Amino acid sequence: MIRMKFRNYLVLILLFLFQGLSAQIKNPVKLTYEVLPVGENQYEAVITAKMESGWHIYSKDLPPDSGIPTELIITSKEGIELIGGTVEVGKKHDEFSEAFGAQIVYYSNSAKFKQKFRLKTPARPATIMAEFTYQTCDDRVCLAPNTIEFEKTIPGDPAAAATTATVDEPEQTAENTIVADSETPEAAANTKDPVSATALDPKELKISSLDYQNPLTDCGETKQQNDENYLTYLILGFLGGMIALLTPCVFPMIPLTVSFFTKGNKNKSRGIRDAMTYGFFIFAIFTALSIPFHLIDGIAGNIFNQISTSVGLNLFFFAVFMIFAFSFFGYFDITLPSSIANRSSKAEEAGGLIGIFFMALTLVIVSFSCTGPILGSLLGSAVTGSANVPMLLTFALAGFGLAWAIVFGILALFPQALQSLPKSGGWMNTVKVFLGFVELGLALKFLSKADLVSKTFLLKRELFIVLWIIITIGIILYLFGLIRFPHDDKKAKISTGRKAVGLLSIGFLVYLVQGLIPGERPKLQMLSGILPPLNVSYFHDVEDGILGMKPEHDYFEAVQTAQRENKPILIDFTGYGCENCRKMEEFVWSEPDILPILQNDVILTSLYVDDKEELPEEQQTRIDMGNGQMKRIKTIGDRWSLFQQVNFNDNTQPVYVLVTPDGKVINHPFKGYNSDKEVFKKFLQCGINYYKNSY
């Protein structure tokens, strides 16, 4: 296991907020495993790592809190005795790292990690297991730490010839055959189609008959609505930027900055040009914040989902958003170290384009106490459950920067408009406090996800709504001057705009209250995906399932049920933290002409890819990824996430697949949320009709 200190946990947190998935998984290190006899009942386990040009892995000996040290652990159930420690052989580099502030050692091109041992019972065969943990880096990026397991059986005879597991290194993809650790690669090649329930091995996740690229029929194949609309995130970012402009950290700087360019420059046209360049640099800086998301890749296909549904990290972000809220309320300020701003300010003296750039950078830095929580809320909402994080964040950040660039640009072109801007005053603090209440509401979203993934189900749907009602009441009381916060004027007048927002808040309060009234159809569609699911309720039992349906949660059990009832299986790849899954369940599944189909015509099988519950020990296994590399399946979510990847080459949710009882894909899978129920209905009907006519 990776023994990570605080710095490494921080890396995971940054991955959650600022890193997306690459379209292609990078694997610049090829590993082979050998077990060699060295005489007198002594053996040597050897891991050979071959790195592509420019890449390296770290030594096992690194200073604390510097990097991920390479670690080789050798074990055996039959019992072994280690001789000495791990020995490293390879092209060693020993240099000072500015990033870590320490002297580090790493290897390039190739390296070997050796561990000697002796068998406790030499006459008996033994299976020697190796667990190899490492991190790969080049001069630009580091890939996520990786742990690979190997195993090799040796006869236990000291005179036996060397046994190796070294094989050629073909490129691995999600569609390579996967077998359980109880089977050999040769057995995997002879895998039979699952034509009956008895032919299915729950440990064998790759099922050859599930050929989604060649379904039994093409009926119902349509282009799915893309919920990840880049324009939507651009608009959200733009609105966030406009709101940030109204905060006390930014608004007072607008007239000062624009006046500096238009009045402080003898050449008026040049002043306008410089002001617009200033706006462009602001836009570029915010957009550039998304560059790391595109550069850093090498993450396994389901790692982002694992991080975003981590109970610990969601509780962490709940705490962070609560801190954001109280900062906006005025109890304290969140600021970056002053040294950063000071260095940026000094760089402004360079003049020209460089000076303008650093003026823009200084603005971004010094306004962090107001923009940080807004950006954090925006980014946190954008990345949750997204399949294309990098581009979505690019558009969101670009929209944020665009709002600032437009304002500075327009005011530079029409400086007389500065006179029409409202004067700085208490209204800016009102904006901040209002945003503080918004942060409280968003914090509950992360708390709810942690509650769902941990299966505690303490934060019921009704309780969540009640808490939002209380927050909304707080907004109303504040906007009408009935409660105050530290930076509010004691005798502040309630402006017309403040009253208008207060009235809108009353309308939202009425909207929330109706969500507490039981009804036949789901309510609060605007909050679908944010609220807990319908069955996490004081009026329903979690085991009742969505809309009263009790789906199967195990594909292999669903096959047996489907064979008994002669119905097709509807695989629903879903997750406790999947917002779009909740939207489909609440506002598409619930439609009166779709719900009966799900209840009567299919065996609904919901497979949760983020279920953190550990499998029974006898079901936990390791699967062979080829070349002797093993992946451990420890939780229910591990099982179904990998099942989706290896059979359907997909790791997004929701995904719906119609399958016959003998394991054949009927029509093309339906992917993503689509508010047009007719599209989903057509997908269901065409597949079911084909099954009824052909089976």
**What Å distances lie between residue 471 and 1, 55, 435, 475, 479, CA to CA?**
43, 51, 11, 6, 12
> How far is 200 from 191, CA to CA, in rounded Å?
10
Among residues 412, 422, 424, which one has the least CA distance to residue 263? 412
Count CA within 13 A, CB hemisphere, residue 522: 28
Q: How far is residue 193's CA from residue 175's CA, in Å, rounded to a whole number?
A: 16
> What's the CATH architecture for 28-171?
Sandwich (2.60)
- Ordered by start, the domain boundaries in the chain are 1-23+229-421, 28-171, 542-694
CA distance 315 to 684: 38
pLDDT at 301: 39
The pLDDT tens digits for 412-448 are 777 777 667 776 667 778 888 988 898 899 889 889 8
Does residue 145 have a cis bond before it (omega within 30 degrees)? Answer: no
Give the per-residue pLDDT at 585.
Answer: 86
pLDDT of residue 566: 92
As given in the structure block, the two tokens for residue 509 are 């309060």
Spans in the chain with pLDDT lower than 50: 1-25, 159-199, 222-228, 297-304, 340-341, 344-345, 347-349, 385, 387
DSSP labels for 303-336? HHHHHHT-HHHHHHHHHHHHHHHHHHHTS-----
* Residue-level pLDDT at 114: 95
For residue 334, what pLDDT is reported?
A: 65
Under CATH, what is the fold of the domain 542-694? Answer: Glutaredoxin (3.40.30)
H/E stretch holding 436: helix 426-453
pLDDT value of residue 142: 61
> What are the pLDDT digits (tens) for 664-682?
999 999 988 787 889 999 9
* pTM of the shown model: 0.54
Domain 28-171 and domain 542-694 have a common topology: no
Give the per-residue pLDDT at 192. Answer: 35
Q: What's residue 567's pLDDT?
A: 93
Amino acid at 120: K
